[in-house]
Chains A and B, each alone.
Chain A
Amino acid sequence: MLNEWLLNFARWLDSFAWSTAIHESFYLYAWIESTHVLAIMVFLGMLFIIDLRILGLAFAQVPAARIAERLDKPMMIGFAVMVITGLLLFFAIPVRSTQSVWFRIKVVLLIAAGINAFLFRNKMKEVRRDGREEVEPSKRLRLGAGTSLFLWMGVVMTGRAIAYDWFDCHKDLSYAMYWVAGCVDEMALVE
């Protein structure tokens, strides 16, 4: 049900002339992807250092709240560029991405990372409101930072894996794998 809906959505995106144009143009696609990677350097670079500070592994002599607050703006600039180029990359190859196991894991990890970031931000706001900026981060905040590190590393790694075709629909896979990847047509053939 959801698989069919996602596939239809992807096919609808695929029907746009611009989607094909980006996909087929060698340089434009390569430039968007390179920009995506450079934006990862900015966003994830800032995020890593913030998380490492919360965990006490960098900038130990500077209050954690200050590092988190000061690096937020450059991090969000990287995030914005990353999201825009990421959406363009998806728009260029919608069907194959939708039917990629890696892309699906990536989206799940992204949602988890988003929820984690939301909770983390709320906790940081509390810290600021209570005037505890100078105090070392609580165990819960450190757990949040560690979770963030692993989730975002997972996002990047699964994102890189989308390029590999090991579990693409045209491969001979199990029914369960077809279902996970959303290979609707292949599932029908097996049945």
Chain B
Amino acid sequence: MSKTLLERLAIGLSVLFIGIIAIFWLTQVGDVMETLCLAYGDFCFDEPE
């Protein structure tokens, strides 16, 4: 593969991977917040059901 193509692939795929992984982590953090809410209701904006 040519260098220019590799550079473009490197940039495009890196951005894509970073984006996907960011979403992956955010869903995990969401899980944590949910657990904290269930364990310590005071943390929550709303009362847990």
B contacts with A: majority SS: helix
Residue from A21, A27, A28, A31 whose CB has the most chain B CB atoms within 10 Å = A27
Say whether B22 faces chain A, with CB atoms less than 8 Å apart.
no
Q: A21–B35 Cα gap in the complex (Å)?
A: 12
Q: Which of A16-31 contact B (CB under 8 A)?
A: 21, 25-28, 31
Interface size on B, residues (CB 8 A): 5
Residues of B contacting A26 with CB < 8 Å?
Answer: 35
Residues of A contacting B32 with CB < 8 Å?
Answer: 27-28, 31
Q: A123–B36 Cα gap in the complex (Å)?
A: 48
Residues of B contacting A27 with CB < 8 Å?
Answer: 31-32, 35-36
Give chain A nearest CB distance to B44 CB in angstroms.
15
Q: A31–B31 Cα gap in the complex (Å)?
A: 11
Say whether B39 faces chain A, with CB atoms less than 8 Å apart.
yes
Q: Which of A118-166 contact B (CB under 8 A)?
A: none
Q: A26–B32 Cα gap in the complex (Å)?
A: 9
A30 closest partner in B (C-beta): B32
- What 0/1 pattern do residues 21 to 45 of B give for CB contact below 8 A with A? 0000000000110011001000000
* Cross-chain pairs A/B with CB under 8 angstroms, 13 sampled: A21-B39, A25-B35, A25-B36, A25-B39, A26-B35, A27-B31, A27-B32, A27-B35, A27-B36, A28-B32, A28-B35, A28-B36, A31-B32
7 tightest A-B contacts by CB?
Answer: A27-B35, A27-B32, A25-B39, A26-B35, A27-B31, A31-B32, A25-B35
Given contacts A25-B36, A27-B35, A28-B36, 4 further A-B contacts (CB under 8 A): A21-B39, A25-B39, A26-B35, A27-B36
